Amino acid sequence: MTKQLDYSKLDKVLQYQDTQLAIDWRNKEWKFLDINGNNYVSLSEFETWIEHHLPEFFNSGDGQRYKIAFRYAYNKARTIHQSKATATSAQKQQNDDYLTRSEFAPMLKYTRIFLEIYNMFDELDTSRDRKIQIGEFIRGVDKLNQWGAKIQDPKADFKKIDDNDSGNILYDEFLQYALDKNLEVIQG
């Protein structure tokens, strides 16, 4: 069963906007997120923080299914800001491996987007095997088109999305497709 995302709660927790209210909220939350106060956040710290704010993704067993979206968001955000040229190799490695304060807002935005895309993926994956097979894709064309895909030839699109020619679409392949197509769930 696909999880019904509570978009109002996601927007309340994942405040990435450039408003004063969102900035103040992020400043407060960064102190909780950066548990040891070293100005870097590990994946473990992020997952602990997100589980605190969005426990419904972890308490019902869905945490393992949705964890991939959280990890992709974290990994994408932590690569946004490059280390300064004057940084030592140890500082560069730490900046590359951990989330920094300046990457917090983008991480929240990516989390929101990647959760929505994972939810789309999960809705199409009716066999619940964490991959979309050709039959599932074809049955989901109407839904994909509602999200903005504009699919004319489902088999050709499936083949294009299936980067590794496995005969299945994995989340990372679907994620890239959804981002390229700017897919979006119509809320309401």
Residue burial 4-39, b: 16+ Cβ < 10 Å; e: rest:
ebeeeebeebbbbeeeeebeebbeebeeebbeeeee
What does pTM read for this prediction? Answer: 0.86
How many CB atoms sit inside 10 A of residue 164's CB?
A: 10
- List CB contacts of 47: < 8 A, sequence separation 6 or more: 67, 70
Given this model, what pLDDT does residue 4 score? 78
DSSP 78: T
What pLDDT was estimated at residue 93?
Answer: 57
Q: What pLDDT, on a 0 to 100 scale, did the predictor assign at position 160?
A: 96
DSSP letters along 8-19, please? HHHHHH---SSS
Domains of the chain: 7-114 (1.10.238), 125-181 (1.10.238.10)
For residue 99, list its beta bridge partners.
41
pLDDT per residue, tens digit, the chain (188 aa), is 566 788 889 989 999 999 999 999 999 999 999 988 988 999 999 999 998 998 888 776 655 778 889 999 999 998 886 655 565 666 655 556 889 899 999 999 999 999 999 999 999 999 999 999 999 999 999 999 999 999 999 999 999 999 999 999 999 999 999 999 999 987 65
Predicted local confidence at residue 164, as pLDDT: 94
pLDDT of residue 120: 94
Q: How much is the CA Rg of the chain, to the nearest whole Å?
A: 18
SS3 39: coil
What pLDDT sits at residue 83? 52
Helix (H) or strand (E) holding 2: none
DSSP, residue by residue, 82-149: PPPTTS-HHHHHHHHHSEEGGGHHHHHHHHHHHHHHHHHHHHH-TT-SSSEEHHHHHHTHHHHHHTT-
Angle at 111 between CA 106 and CA 114, to 5 degrees: 120
pLDDT of residue 82: 62
